[in-house]
Structure 1
Amino acid sequence: MWASVQVKTAGALPLDAADLRGRLRIDTAAEDTLLQDFLAAAASRIEGPDGVGIALMAQTWTLTIDAWAGEITLPGWPVTGVSEIRYLDADGATQALDHAAAFRLVAGTDPVRLVRKPGAALPATLGGRSVIEIDYTLGRADASAVDPGLVTAMALLAGHYYENREATVPAQVKELPMGVEHILARFTRGVVA
C-alpha cells in the first residue's frame, strides 16, 4: 500500500527555528538556518509514507492504483479530502474523473476510504498498472491544531540532531530519544516503507 503513495506537495512545519531555539534554550539566532534544517529532517522522519504515515500540516499525497474498486483505502492520517482523480482512458489519454459524483469520502474511519456511490458509472481505463491517480489532502491547516505530542516529537528529534551532529559521539553512543519512539508509536499507520 505505501509503495503506491507519494507526497505531491509538502506542508509547512508546525515549528520554526525560533520555537526550537526557545525549547533548546539557545540565546542567539546565529544557527537558525541549521535549526530549520534539523526541523525539516525531523519532519521527514515523522511525515509521509517514509515516516510513520501521517501529515503534520496541510499537504497533498497521490495514491496510484491499477483499477477501480468499490472501496479505495486512502493511506495516511489525517485525511481531509480528495482534490482530484485522474485516470488513463482506453486510448491512454489522461482524463479527470468527477470524483464527487462517483465516490463519497468516508472520513469517520481509520484509514479513510473512498466508497463508490450506488449506481455511479466508472469509465473504462487502459489495462495495466498505475492507471489511476488519486490526489488527496491531509494534515492540519493551522499549526495550533497539530497534536502537541507530534510537535514535541519533532522538537526532540531536531534537538537530538542539533546536539549530535555526527553519526556517533566518541565514548558515548546515543540513540534517538526514547520519548520520540513512544510518541510516534501512537501515530504509526500500518507498515510503512
Structure 2
Amino acid sequence: MHRPVLVTGPSALPVSLAEVKSALRVDVGDSDGDLERLIRSAVAHYEGWSGILGIALVAQTWRQDFNRFEQKIMLGLRPVQSISSIKWRNEAGQISTVAEADYALKTDAGGRSYVRFVNDFAFPSDLYEDAAVSVEFVVGWPVVADAPTTPEDIKTAIILHVQKHYDEAAKANSDILDRVERDLISKYRAPFL
C-alpha cells in the first residue's frame, strides 16, 4: 500500500468563518484572515493521511496505489462514500479499468473501508512492477445544499482548536480545552489496522 494522494479537494471547510466568529463572539472583520488560517490549520490537524484522525471531514476524492491485487484491499482514509474507479497498469504501461461488477465497497465494524473483489475475478498476472493497482475513491461527509454534514462534535472541536490559538483567555485554560477537544474527537480516532 502506498500513501494516499489527494485528487480533488473539498468544496468547503467543515466549519465556516461565520460559525467560528459567532462561537468566539468576534464582531469585527479585522481578524478574518487570522481566523481563516486557524480554521485551515485545525482542519489539517485532524484530516487526511497525516491528520491525527485519518479521516476526511468534507467529501473529497483520493487515490491510493497498491503493488498488487488482493481479494480485499484496505483503504487508508475514512469515511469512504464510494469508489470512483479501480485501474491497473500492465508491464507495457497500458492502463485498464476494473468493471464495477467485479468489486464492492465494504466497511468493517471499526469503520475501516475496503474493496472486496468478487470470488471469480481473475487477477491480472502481468502487473507493472510498482504501484500497479490504483483505487480512486470519495471520502468524507457530503455537502448538502452548500453545507457540510460533518458531525457537530468535530465542528465543535475545530472551533475549540481555533479558540485556543486565537483567544488570550483560552490560552490560559488550554489544558482544559485540550481535554474537551480530545473527548469530542475520541470516537473518530482511527482503529488499529
Q: Which residue of 2 aligns with 1:78?
A: 79
Q: 1:105 & 1:173 partners in 2: Cα distance? A: 44
Percent identical pairs in the alignment equals: 23
Matches within 5 A, 1:1-193: 4-11=3-10, 12-51=12-51, 52-93=53-94, 95-107=95-107, 109=109, 110-142=111-143, 143=147, 145-163=149-167, 174=174, 177-190=178-191
Does structure 2 conserve the Cα–Cα contact (< 8 Å) formed by 1:8 and 1:60? yes
Q: 2:99 & 2:56 partners in 1: Cα distance? A: 23
Deviations 1:147-178 (A, max 9, x none): 111001111111222236xxxx8xx7955622
Q: 1:10 & 1:128 partners in 2: Cα distance? A: 29
Q: 2:20 & 2:96 partners in 1: Cα distance? A: 42
Comparing 151-160 and 99-108, the one that deviates more? 99-108
| Inter-CA distance 182–6: structure 2 relative to 1 (3 Å threshold) | farther
Q: 1:158 & 1:17 partners in 2: Cα distance? A: 11
Structure 2 stretches lacking a partner, 5+ long: none
TM-score by length of 2: 0.83
Deviations 1:107-139 (A, max 9, x none): 465211211113122334434332222111111
The one-letter code matched in structure 1 to 2:149 is A
The one-letter code matched in structure 1 to 2:24 is L
Does structure 1 conserve the Cα–Cα contact (< 8 Å) formed by 2:68 and 2:127? no
Q: 2:189 & 2:129 partners in 1: Cα distance? A: 31
Does structure 1 conserve the Cα–Cα contact (< 8 Å) formed by 2:85 and 2:135? yes
Tell me the secondary structure at the aligned position of residue 114 of structure 2. Answer: strand
| Inter-CA distance 28–140: structure 2 relative to 1 (3 Å threshold) | same
For the aligned residues, what is the CA RMSD?
2.4
Q: 1:154 & 1:77 partners in 2: Cα distance? A: 18
Q: 1:125 & 1:150 partners in 2: Cα distance? A: 44
TM-score by length of 1: 0.83
Aligned length: 184
| Inter-CA distance 48–99: structure 2 relative to 1 (3 Å threshold) | farther
CA-CA distance at 1:87 after TM superposition = 2.1
